[in-house]
Amino acid sequence: MHEFELSISGMTCAACAGRVERALQKVPAVSAAGVNLASEKARVSAPGDAAPALAEAVTAAGYRVAEAEHDLALSGMSCANCAGRIEKVLRAVPGVLAAEVNLASEKARVRTLAAVDTHTLIAAVEGAGYGAQDRRAEDERSAPARQGMPWEHLELTLALLLTAPLILPMLLAPFGWHLMPPAWLQFLLATPVQFIVGARFYRGAWHALRARSGNMDVLVALGTSAAYGLSLYLWLVKDSPHLYFETAAMVIALVRLGKYLETRAKRRTGAALRALEALRPESARRLDAAGQEEEVALNRLRLGDRLQLRPGERIPADGRILQGESQVDEALLTGESRPVAKGPGDEVVGGAINGEGNLQIEVIALGGETVLAGIIRLVEDAQATKAPIQQLVDRISRVFVPVVVSLALVTLLGWLLSGHPLEPSLLAAVAVLVIACPCALGLATPAALMAGTGVAARHGILIKDAETLERAQGITTVVFDKTGTLTAGQLRLCQLATAPGIEEADLLSLAGSLQRGSEHPLAAAVLLACRERGLDTPPAQDVRALPGRGLQGRWQGRALLLGNARLLA
C-alpha cells in the first residue's frame, strides 16, 4: 500500500469533499481515503499502481486532479527494449499516470500526480541501470491559482459593477428615494451576472446532479434561477413592476466575493510552507575529483557529493562536515536562538545558514529525506488531517443539501396551500435555498485548522495533527526544556573584568579592534558594547582566526590574543 496525496480543484463546499471522498473509497483496493476542503487535498491509501484509477474516479465525480509533467534526459539506452523497460519502471512508480520514452531523442515525458518528486523518477530510472537528469519539471500545484486569479478578478469586478446599480436603489429606498432602473435595464444588468459570472455554479450543479449528489452550487443555481425566472415571468407576462433581478444578481455577486476572500485566506495560510520551502537554495557548489568547484542545480546533487560552503551561504542539503569549522545558524529549523559551533564530523541540515567559516560537506540526504522536507511534510500533514469535530461536520454536510431542497419545497407548498399567491410563495422558497448554503458549515473547521497551523509554523511551532490542535484548548501548563529558545536570540556583553592597572575601556576597545569585520555572534556582542559606550575600534593588523579557540593579531606593535579558556591555557 502507498499513501497518495492528490491536489483537487473544483470543490466548493463540504458536499463536494464528501462526494470526492466516496468516489475514491469506491476504487478497488483503496483502504482509506480522506478529503480536506480547505487545503483542497486528498490522502488515499491504495496500491502503488492505483494512481490512474484514483485520478479517473475524481474526474468522473466532476472534479480535477492537479498533475505535473516531468521531462527527463536519458542516457545508456541502446535499443527499443531499453526504452520499453524504462517506461515500465516509470509507470511502476506510485503516483505516475503516464510515461512515454523516445529512444531517438533519449527523452522521457512523464505525467504524474502533483505531489510526485522528480528525484523519485530519476532514482527509479537509475535503479534500472540507466542515467537520467531533470530537463524540465512543471509543478502545477499552484498554477491553477496563478492562472485563475486574473479571470477571477475580472469576473468579480464585472459582477460587482453590474450589481451595484441594482443594489444602490434598495439602500436609498428607506430614505424616500425610489430610483430602481427600468425593467429592461435590470434585465441587461442581471443577465451577464446570472449566466457569465454564475456559469461556474451551473457547471458545479450539473456535475453534482449527474453524480446524484448535491452541493452549494445546486442551492445557488436553484435559488438564483428561480428569482431570475420569476422576474422574467412577471416582466414579460404580468407586466409587473415588482421584479427580483437584483436578488439573483446580488446573491451571485456576494457568493463570488465570499469565495474570492476565502481563496485569499487559503493562500495566506500557505505562506508558512512557502517560507520553509524558500529556505532551500536553488543551487550548490559541488567539488569534482580534482577539487574544482562547479555550480549545479539541487536536483543534480547525489548522495556522497562534496559541497563547498562559503560564509553566509545557506546549506543546500543535509550533510556531514569534512573540513572546516564554523558557526551554523539553525534557528528556523531547530528553534536554537544562537549559532551552533560545527566542526569535522558534525552533521548540518539543509536550509541552515553557515557563519564565518569555509566548510566542505558530504551530502547525506536529499529531497524528501532531508530534515527540512520532514518539517514541511509535518506542517502539510497537520493541515490536511481532519479534527474530530470535522467528522461530525462532514456527516451533517452529506445530507445538508437534500434536506435544504426538501425544506424549500415544503416552504413553497406550505405557502401555496395556505392561500398565498405564487410570487411570495416562490420568494420564500428561494430565500430558504439562498440562505442555507453549506459552505460556511463545511469550510469553517478546516480553514481554521489551516490558519492556526500556518501561523504556528511561522512562529516555529509545529503541530503534529488536527486532533492535537483541537485537544490543545485544554492545556493549562507549558513546560520548556531549553532556555535558549526563550531569549531574544542576540548575545550581549553583561560583565567585564580587568586586571589591576588596565582600564575597562581600553580592554574593550582592543577586543573590538581585533574582532572588527567578524560575523561571529560573540564578536557581534563585543562590537555592540563598543558602540553603546562610544569606543573607537580601529582595525587591527595581521588578524587570523584560530578555529575553535579564538583570534590573534597585532595593534600598534602589540601582540593580541582573544579567545576561550583553551586558547589562554
Residues classed as catalytic: 481
Helices 183-192 and 216-236: crossing angle in degrees, nearest 10, is 160
Q: How many CB atoms lie within 10 A of CB 47?
A: 16
Q: Which residues contact 510 (CB under 8 A, 6 or more apart)?
A: 555, 560
Which among 238, 241, 117, 148 is positioned nearest to 186, based on CA atoms? 241
Cα–Cα dist 394/276, whole Å = 31
150-188 burial by CB neighbour count: b if 16+ within 10 A, else e? eeeeebbebbbebbebbeeeeeeeeeeeeebbebeebbe
Q: Which strand (E) or helix (H) includes residue 320?
A: strand 318-323
Integer CA distances (angstroms), 184 to 180, 187, 193, 527, in order: 11, 5, 15, 77
Q: Which residues contact 82 (CB under 8 A, 6 or more apart)?
A: 76, 103, 130
Secondary structure (DSSP) of 418-480: TT--HHHHHHHHHHHHHHT-THHHHHHHHHHHHHHHHHHHHTT-----HHHHHHGGG------
125 neighbors 90 (Cβ within 8 angstroms): yes
Cα–Cα dist 425/404, whole Å = 16
Q: How many CB atoms lie within 10 A of CB 429?
A: 24
339 neighbors 521 (Cβ within 8 angstroms): yes
Which among 299, 271, 268 is positioned nearest to 286, based on CA atoms? 299
Cα–Cα dist 87/101, whole Å = 6
27 neighbors 57 (Cβ within 8 angstroms): yes
Cα–Cα dist 499/354, whole Å = 36
Print the SS3 string covering 68-112: EEEEEEEECCCCHHHHHHHHHHHHCCCCEEEEEEECCCCEEEEEE
Helices H / strands E in the chain, number of each: 19, 20
Strand pairing partners for 275?
none
Q: Phi and psi (nearest 5°) for 367?
A: 55, -130
Q: Phi and psi (nearest 5°) for 403?
A: -65, -40
Which among 51, 149, 43 is positioned nearest to 93, based on CA atoms? 51
